[in-house]
Amino acid sequence: MNKSVTVKKVVDSLGLKIHNGEEFLDREILTEDISRPGLELTGYFNYYPQNRIQLFGKTEISFSEQMTSDERLIVMQKMCQPDTPAFLVSRGLTPPKELIQATTEKGIPLLGSKQSTTRLSSNLTNFLEAQLAERISMHGVLVDIYGMGVMIIGDSGVGKSETALELIQRGHRLVADDRVEMYMMDDRKIVGEPPEILSHLLEIRGIGIIDVVNLFGVGSIRLNKVVNLVVNLELWDKERTYDRLGSGDEKERILDVDVPKISIPVKTGRNLAVIIESAAMNTRAKNMGYNATETFERNLENLIKKNSLEQ
């Protein structure tokens, strides 16, 4: 089944003005692509993308003003197809009366915005891409730590939510607990957000469901976050050898994006919140070009060379 978003949700999210057709805002949008109907204004409809939002900027409005009223009405009526979700006019421009007439006749919303055409197109495309993108659910907790989106995963009962609670107490922000909805922002970024029913809620065994906003304030949550690091909590296994230098290059593939991943053994007495906090800061340092492991290995190599020369 194809994903869709209603015109009303676009209007509410982007703060658009409704020129007419308020009763038709339940029309569905099935594609994130936007159309600027320049060729169509000349009468060329061979490849008209009629299922897209039709965006009129200063160029389209200026061109239409060179046409006669009858020519404008014919073209506007032809643009109003059964699967055309809406028309949108940027820069606070006044829609042509023929466009108002055609959309009214066909029951298609006519919207407006004061934003520039380029900015409006970008904001609209970004919003539709996020709404219509393929989504998956992951079990875990997503926390914003120093601006880094950290996805905490692990077996049930390992302490993910309890660790997230301590991180929130330390001033970091909860994005989602238990189930995290993931989608691709672009070819390199994965965004996580909570399902609506679980927004700003945290489940703690022995206590139950707590509302993070009520306990810690609105500054303790985020509505979504790019996932920069996956932290896998696993029970300590004395038979297993764990990475002590951070030289591993483990990845978690989410949709089609590889996200850096580390595994942290859970053992009595370990402060997981502080460890994960440090892991987030260390990942950010690596992203900025500083790698403590490489520095250590380089220093070790220089020390070995120095000792060899002295011998």
User: For residue 247, what pLDDT is reported?
Assistant: 57
Rounded to whole angstroms, the Cα distance separating 143 from 151 reads 6
Question: And the tokens for 62?
Answer: 């200026």
Q: Establish whether 244 is a catalytic residue.
A: yes
Answer whether residue 29 is part of any domain. Answer: yes
Answer whether residue 311 is part of any domain. Answer: no
Q: Establish whether 172 is a catalytic residue.
A: no
Domain match, 147 and 210 both: yes
Catalytic pick from 178, 179, 189, 284?
A: 178
The 8-class DSSP code of residue 205 comes to T
Domain match, 199 and 248 both: yes
pTM comes to 0.74
Domain match, 152 and 229 both: yes
User: For residue 187, what pLDDT is reported?
Assistant: 81
Rounded to whole angstroms, the Cα distance separating 278 from 287 reads 14
Domain match, 111 and 139 both: no
Answer whether residue 310 is part of any domain. Answer: no
Q: How many domains does the chain have?
A: 2
Rounded to whole angstroms, the Cα distance separating 15 from 111 reads 10
Rounded to whole angstroms, the Cα distance separating 142 from 173 reads 9
Q: Which residues are annotated binding-site positions for ATP?
A: 154-161
Beta-carbon contacts of residue 146 (< 8 Å; ≥ 6 apart): 172, 277, 280, 281, 284
Answer whether residue 170 is part of any domain. Answer: yes
Answer whether residue 68 is part of any domain. Answer: yes
Query: CATH number of the domain that 44 lies in?
Result: 3.40.1390.20
Q: Which residues are annotated binding-site positions for Mg(2+)?
A: 161, 203
User: For residue 296, what pLDDT is reported?
Assistant: 60
Host domain of residue 196: 134-295
Q: Which residues, given as ranges, of the chain have pLDDT below 70?
A: 1-2, 241-248, 290-298, 300, 303, 305-306, 309-311
Domain match, 150 and 287 both: yes
Start-to-end Cα distance in the chain: 73
Answer whether residue 79 is part of any domain. Answer: yes
Domain match, 42 and 161 both: no
The 8-class DSSP code of residue 67 comes to S
Q: Establish whether 187 is a catalytic residue.
A: no
Question: And the tokens for 274?
Answer: 């502080």
User: For residue 235, what pLDDT is reported?
Assistant: 86
User: For residue 185, what pLDDT is reported?
Assistant: 84
Rounded to whole angstroms, the Cα distance separating 311 from 305 reads 10
Catalytic pick from 70, 187, 238, 244?
A: 244
Domain match, 87 and 204 both: no
Q: Where are the alpha helices (DSSP H) in the chain?
A: 7-14, 38-41, 58-64, 69-79, 97-106, 117-132, 160-169, 212-216, 272-287, 292-310
Domain match, 143 and 215 both: yes
Asked if 253 and 172 touch (Cβ cutoff 8 Å), the reply is no
Whose CA is closest to 162, among 118, 189, 122, 202?
202
Answer whether residue 307 is part of any domain. Answer: no
Residue 200's Cβ-count burial label (10 Å; 0-12, 13-18, 19+) is buried
Asked if 155 and 235 touch (Cβ cutoff 8 Å), the reply is yes
Domain boundary among 109, 131, 153: 131
Domain boundary among 71, 97, 131: 131
Catalytic pick from 19, 72, 160, 172?
A: 160
Answer whether residue 302 is part of any domain. Answer: no
Domain match, 140 and 175 both: yes
Whose CA is closest to 75, among 36, 102, 105, 56?
102
Domain boundary among 95, 116, 131: 131
Catalytic pick from 139, 188, 270, 298?
A: 139
Domain match, 46 and 116 both: yes
Share of residues in the chain with pLDDT > 70 (%): 91
Sheet holding 229-235, edge to edge: 225-226, 189-193, 173-186, 135-145, 148-154, 229-235, 257-266, 251-254
Asked if 48 and 134 touch (Cβ cutoff 8 Å), the reply is no
Query: CATH number of the domain that 230 lies in?
Result: 3.40.50.300
Domain match, 50 and 140 both: no
Task: Decide the pairing of beta strands 87-89 and 110-112.
Answer: parallel
Q: Establish whether 139 is a catalytic residue.
A: yes
Q: What's the maximum distance between 2 C-alpha atoms anywhere in the chain?
A: 96
Asked if 203 and 209 touch (Cβ cutoff 8 Å), the reply is yes
Domain match, 121 and 191 both: no
User: For residue 216, what pLDDT is reported?
Assistant: 94
User: For residue 287, what pLDDT is reported?
Assistant: 81
The 8-class DSSP code of residue 188 comes to T
Rounded to whole angstroms, the Cα distance separating 162 from 213 reads 16
| Average per-residue pLDDT for the chain | 90
Q: Which residues are annotated binding-site positions?
A: 154-161, 203
Q: What are phi and psi of 170, to 5 degrees?
A: -85, 5
